[in-house]
Amino acid sequence: MSTISPKPTITSLSSFDSDSLKTARHVISPVQPSAANYQRASQLMDATSLELHGRPVSGEYTYKEATDTLKEVALGRIPDATTGLVQALLDYGAEVCYSRRRSNNFWKQIRGKDQTDLRSDLLANAVRNCSVDILLLLLPSADQPALQGALRTAIQLHDPNKILPLLMRGADASSMCKEFLEVINQAPHEITSLLLRDNRGACQSCRDSGLIRAVELGDEQKVLTLLNKGASVFFCDSAAARAALEQKDERLALCVLKSPQFIGQTALLENLAGSAYSANKLGALRTCIAAGARGPVMKNILRQAAREGNTSAVDILLHHGIAFETADETSIVLAVRSGNIRLLELLLRCRPAAHSLQAAFTETSNLTDVNTACKIIEQLLVSGVRGHVVNEVLLQSVGVLPCRWKLSHTDKKREHVVQLLLSQGQADVNHQNGVALVTAVSHGWLSMVQLMVGARPAISTLCAAVVSALAVQSNEVCKELVCILLATAPHDVPSDLEAFLEAGIRAAAQSMRIDILRHFLAIMPTQPPTAATIQAGAEGAFANKRWMTPEGLEVVHFILESGAQGPTLDDAFCEAVLACDRDATLLLSDCVSQAAPAMALQCLVEASSAWCSASHNCLWLLHSLLDWGAVSSQGVHHALVKLAHSWPSPQQKTPAPKALLETLLLVGKADVNFQAGQALRFAATGGHVALLKRLLQKRPNSETVAHAFRSAITAPVHETIVLEMIDLLARVEGVNLQLDAKSTFSDWLPYLVDGMAVHRKSVKLMGKLVKMGCSVNETFEYQLHDKITRVTPLLWALLSQNGPSIVSDEVIKFLISARADVNFTTPGTRISALQVAADFGRSEIVKALLQAGAHSSSSDAFGCSALYYASSQGHTAVVHLLLKSKYKVNDGSLGVAARRLHSATVEALVKAGHDVNFPNPRPEYQGRTAIQELALCGECSPANEDQLAMTITALFRGTKINLLAQWESMNPLFLAFHNKTPLPLVKALLESTNMWQLLEHEDNVYCQTDAATGTKYYKSPTVYLRTMFLAQHQTGSTTSTATYVEIDKLLRRMNCPDRFYAELGAPQPPNAGGLPVAIAREEKRRQDEAAKQRKLELEHQDQMRREYERTQHKAALEVEKRQRDDKMRQQKLEMEHHDYMRREYEKEQQKIAMEEAKKQRVLQRRAAR
């Protein structure tokens, strides 16, 4: 073991400032290692070297061995280490901050090896594992980075005995923000105090953040310490104060808010005061106000506190001088609404505006506790509430308006409220026409009525009140109320008293209180009573619906004896007549005007038909009205019309009111010509022959007879009755009934048409009308195809097809036999009777028309003949009739019959010479042949597949059909794909024709031209079907996938190939197939040419690639050569530089050696002297 003779140094605390020494817990005296310490140090160094390097130390100990051993001590691996041992290692040169210093070896410098000082964490490990005494020995040798690492470790260990020496030695805690926050979270309070020292303590940001965290943790002691050590309460928008306000314990908030930093921060204090109020921390709120919180925010808090009913907060704010300029309306309203009397008292001190008081006063009715409401009402009335709102609450207190007070009808509290409103609030009992007084009267509240009448009610209010009083059920209460109101009435103003008595008389009469009525009339100031007063009594009496009872008639009799007259009596007389009340009618008959009987009769007739019975009472009433002056009046004429309209039919088995009829005709002198003979028309329409005969005896005029004649022929009765009524009307004395076209009214239909419209099978009626002069060729306006045109009766009879109710063949044949114009055509549309008959399939009529000379080949304005119409509907019998006459071949009939699958019609047309290959030029066919029309537009379904096959078979019985003939590039098979039901059509075409033999034909393709290139592409049925299905599927077509699959299977079972190719000379698409021989040969030649061209292009590209690779390889070789030359030049320059540096170093060492030798010689000479 090597040994050295070190020169021990004494560790002192001279580097500590005096203030730090006074507060240090551990002060160590200078240490002088003993020989044993040095020996122990040598042993440990040898052991450490052996352990680390596998060999003991040879030669003198260096700092490396001492440092390695000191590391072991710091790691706690030498448990018996003492301060003497540590000092001995330091004397041997142990490093506290570095594990290894940079090397001074020349060759290592040349190679750049070990040229960086390698730092050590020895001091931090000593903090973790050694005593404070050892730490104090190591501190003088520690630099600032080592001190910082050690301090961080000490803070993590929460050891104040090690933190303090480190801080005193110069460790800086200002950069350890994370560790400081951990101290706040977990460490004791004394560590926080250590780190908050003024010199090199925690930074300001840490103090500010720590304050927030301490508040969040609820640590009051740390909060006070941080505040005393300069933590800012303004950090992060005063987050500490806000967090304190969120804590349950208000003491934290008080600690923070009492900080002197807040002094003068008015805006911030206002904001915090708002938060304090929101957190319901009134102590904090008081602190903010005391610190200077003033301004509009505080007034807002006051307003909010008032609105929320927080009386304590409002009291605090007002006590500190924060008040409304004018109390907030909403606050006062909410105070009233919550029934908070104390809060309302506080708010009323702030002199609220009148409208605020009124709004609050309105809310009193929403309170449920009437005692609270009374106190609040009294407070508000004392504050000066007056006017409309007081009147409204008065209405609510008596129950006119809704109110939440829980009061019974006899509750004295209601009376107390009314007294307050009247006496202190000066409520107006005349408000809303005195409805408050009226309500009190209606409930019989005598004491409340006494209170209200003392508030100077107006005459209108008294009038309304007396009416309400007379509606009270109790006679005693009613009389008392009337007496109170009479005593209040202004007796010194006659006009007002008379108005009051009029209202009372009207109400007394209406309520049938005859004793009170007599009392009112007895105290009239004028004698006798005025007409207006009596009129009021009459109006009141007749306003009661029970006035026709014996009790009511007694009141009416009293009013009539008092001199009542005028329109009111006339109206009551009409009412009595309508009710058929004999007593009331007789009582009023002598007092009504001369026009009243006629008016009553008119009302009776218009009201109902009940009077039209044969009862004795109705007959008496009618006779009485006529006797009293209703003769020849409008009512009589209306009565005749009403009686005719209500005349019973024989089926009703009700006796006819013949006495009433005779009374109206003989006594009442009713006019049968009234309203153009409306009575005769009702008689004719109902088929009442006897009534019609009696009315015709009263000299009807020509117009009346004409109207009656029209009603007779349109009457829904048996034709014998109609013929009888016609005979009666034709023999009217003094009337010449003309039935030609010129005699009827302009807006009437011909009589023939009117008759056919109702009696569609009556040949006798038509014969009678024609015999009487009705023209069968008269034209009249008729709506046809949304246009107005002119038609004849014959054409109208054929056009009016209303279901099963049609004009019969016999009637129409009669018109034809009566020389009706069978070739008449409508203007504009040129529709004839034959075309209409053919369209409706009326073969008998068609036959009759042809026999009468109807033109069978004529067409209408749409180019459609009778044959076309018959073919379109499949009327084969009509088609056969028309084909026997003159007809036009290829007029479109075959196409429409084929489209609608009328196989028999198709067969008949083909036999008659219609060409199946004729391209029909009609607009709806656009040049399609019959088979093409059938394929595209055929109306087929699974239910008529047999009919479809029969139609196709019928078409093939004619000229041979060219199934490959195309329309818009599609033959019938392709057209069938576009049908609404393609599957049955495709199946029929393949099974019922020879189309299956043409599936593989090269012409069985669809030609499509590309719009962009102009190239023509050809598709077979299977390819076209697939393309069409995909296109329809993308557009949301209704064609089902199952239908497509079935058609595709059917085509493939018939060996239909897939063909898709471009025209000759054009490039074929990638999926081309099934090419014709010529196109296939051309395509093979084109592909061979393209393959040859591609081969040439590939060879050219390969040659270009090889040339490019040679060029790139050559360039890469040149770059590599340049880089190698540059590297060699750089190495040569570095060697030259190294040689230069070695020579310079050797020169410097020689110079140092010479100077050292010179010094030695000088010392030797001095020593020799």
Q: In this predicted structure, what is the pLDDT of residue 397? A: 82
Same domain assignment for residues 148 and 176: no
Q: In this predicted structure, what is the pLDDT of residue 875? A: 94
pLDDT at 877 over 90: yes
Q: Are strands 780-784 and 118-119 parallel, antiparallel or unpaired?
A: unpaired
- Spatial neighbors of 1044 by CB under 8 A, at least 6 apart, are 1025, 1029
CA pseudo-torsion sign 617, 623, 628, 633? positive
Q: Phi first, then psi: what are they for 651, rounded to 5°? A: -70, -25
Average pLDDT over residues 262-268: 78
pLDDT in tens, 26-71: 444 567 888 888 888 888 888 887 777 766 776 677 778 888 888 8
Give, for 480, the enclosing helix (H) or strand (E): helix 475-488
Instruction: Determine contact, residues 51/108, Cβ cutoff 8 Å.
Output: no
CA distances from 244 to 240, 275, 456, 912, 982 (A): 6, 10, 64, 111, 83
- The pair of structure tokens assigned to 504 is 């009372």
Average pLDDT over residues 245-273: 79
Q: In this predicted structure, what is the pLDDT of residue 1132? A: 87
In whole angstroms, give the CA distance from residue 809 to residue 756: 12
Q: In this predicted structure, what is the pLDDT of residue 886? A: 83
pLDDT in tens, 156-210: 888 898 888 988 888 888 888 888 888 888 888 888 888 888 778 888 888 888 8
- Spatial neighbors of 697 by CB under 8 A, at least 6 apart, are none
Q: Are strands 98-100 and 118-119 parallel, antiparallel or unpaired?
A: antiparallel
CA distances from 715 to 685, 692, 703, 719, 796 (A): 5, 13, 18, 9, 20
In whole angstroms, give the CA distance from residue 1005 to residue 1019: 5
Q: How far apart are the first and last CA of the chain?
A: 41
Q: In this predicted structure, what is the pLDDT of residue 739? A: 59
In whole angstroms, give the CA distance from residue 56 to residue 578: 145
> Of 232, 259, 278, which marks where a domain is finished?
232
> Of 122, 151, 171, which marks where a domain is finished?
171
In this structure, is residue 521 part of a structural domain?
A: no
pLDDT at 745 over 70: no
Same domain assignment for residues 145 and 205: no
Least Cα distance to 187 among 224, 213, 150 occurs for 213
Q: What's the per-residue H, E or C state across 545-566? A: CCCCCHHHHHHHHHHHHCCCCC
462, with CB counted inside 10 A (0-12, 13-18, 19+), is buried
In whole angstroms, give the CA distance from residue 930 to residue 111: 106
pLDDT at 847 over 90: yes
Same domain assignment for residues 12 and 140: yes
CA-derived radius of gyration, the chain: 63
Same domain assignment for residues 20 and 48: yes
In whole angstroms, give the CA distance from residue 766 to residue 797: 12
Same domain assignment for residues 90 and 106: yes
Average pLDDT over residues 1077-1103: 87
State how far Cα 13 lies from the chain centre: 83
Same domain assignment for residues 78 and 187: no
CA distances from 256 to 210, 231, 264, 514 (A): 13, 11, 15, 88
pLDDT in tens, 455-475: 889 988 888 888 888 888 888
Average pLDDT over residues 927-944: 84
Looking at the structure of the chain, the number of domains it has is 2
In this structure, is residue 213 part of a structural domain?
A: yes
Instruction: Determine contact, residues 262/238, Cβ cutoff 8 Å.
Output: no
In this structure, is residue 509 part of a structural domain?
A: no
- The pair of structure tokens assigned to 179 is 């560790």
pLDDT in tens, 372-385: 888 888 888 888 88
- At 1101, the amino acid letter reads Q
Q: In this predicted structure, what is the pLDDT of residue 8? A: 34
pTM above 0.85, yes or no: no
Q: Sorting pLDDT into bands at 50, 70 and 90, what band is 904?
A: very high
In this structure, is residue 597 part of a structural domain?
A: no
- The pair of structure tokens assigned to 892 is 């479109």
In this structure, is residue 1107 part of a structural domain?
A: no
Least Cα distance to 447 among 479, 401, 484, 473 occurs for 484
Least Cα distance to 3 among 58, 67, 63 occurs for 58
Average pLDDT over the chain, rounded to an integer: 82
In whole angstroms, give the CA distance from residue 780 to residue 1033: 54
pLDDT at 1147 over 70: yes
Q: Phi first, then psi: what are they for 1017, rounded to 5°? A: -120, 140
Q: In this predicted structure, what is the pLDDT of residue 849? A: 92
Same domain assignment for residues 11 and 90: yes
Least Cα distance to 136 among 146, 148, 123, 149 occurs for 123
pLDDT in tens, 149-167: 888 888 888 889 888 898 8
Angle at 998 between CA 997 and CA 1004, to 5 degrees: 165
> Of 119, 140, 171, which marks where a domain is finished?
171
- Strand order across the beta sheet in which 1006-1009 lies: 1006-1009, 1016-1019, 1060-1062
Same domain assignment for residues 162 and 180: no
CA pseudo-torsion sign 924, 929, 932, 933? positive
DSSP string, 281-322: -HHHHHHHHHHT--SHHHHHHHHHHHHHT-HHHHHHHHHTT-
The neighbouring-strand residues paired with 1134 are none
Same domain assignment for residues 181 and 225: yes
Instruction: Determine contact, residues 332/359, Cβ cutoff 8 Å.
Output: yes
Q: In this predicted structure, what is the pLDDT of residue 3? A: 40
pLDDT at 1100 over 60: yes
Give, for 814, the enclosing helix (H) or strand (E): helix 809-817
- The pair of structure tokens assigned to 288 is 């903010």
- Spatial neighbors of 991 by CB under 8 A, at least 6 apart, are 949
pLDDT at 10 over 70: no
Q: In this predicted structure, what is the pLDDT of residue 6? A: 40
In whole angstroms, give the CA distance from residue 1143 to residue 1119: 37
Same domain assignment for residues 29 and 106: yes
In this structure, is residue 990 part of a structural domain?
A: no
The DSSP code for 748 is P
Over the range 112-122, which residues count as b (16 or more CB within 10 Å of their CB) and which as e?
Answer: eeeeeeeebbb
In this structure, is residue 118 part of a structural domain?
A: yes
In this structure, is residue 135 part of a structural domain?
A: yes
Q: Which domain holds residue 70?
A: 1-171
Average pLDDT over residues 1042-1058: 86
Total residue count of the chain as it appears in this document? 1169
The DSSP code for 62 is -
Same domain assignment for residues 67 and 212: no
Q: In this predicted structure, what is the pLDDT of residue 344? A: 72
Q: Phi first, then psi: what are they for 1142, rounded to 5°? A: -65, -45
Q: Sorting pLDDT into bands at 50, 70 and 90, what band is 16?
A: very low
Half-sphere exposure of 807 (CA within 13 A, CB side): 25
The DSSP code for 790 is E
Same domain assignment for residues 92 and 202: no
pLDDT in tens, 305-350: 777 777 777 777 677 767 665 556 777 777 777 777 777 777 777 7
pLDDT in tens, 571-609: 888 888 888 888 888 888 888 888 888 888 888 888 877
- Spatial neighbors of 1056 by CB under 8 A, at least 6 apart, are 999, 1000, 1020, 1021, 1022
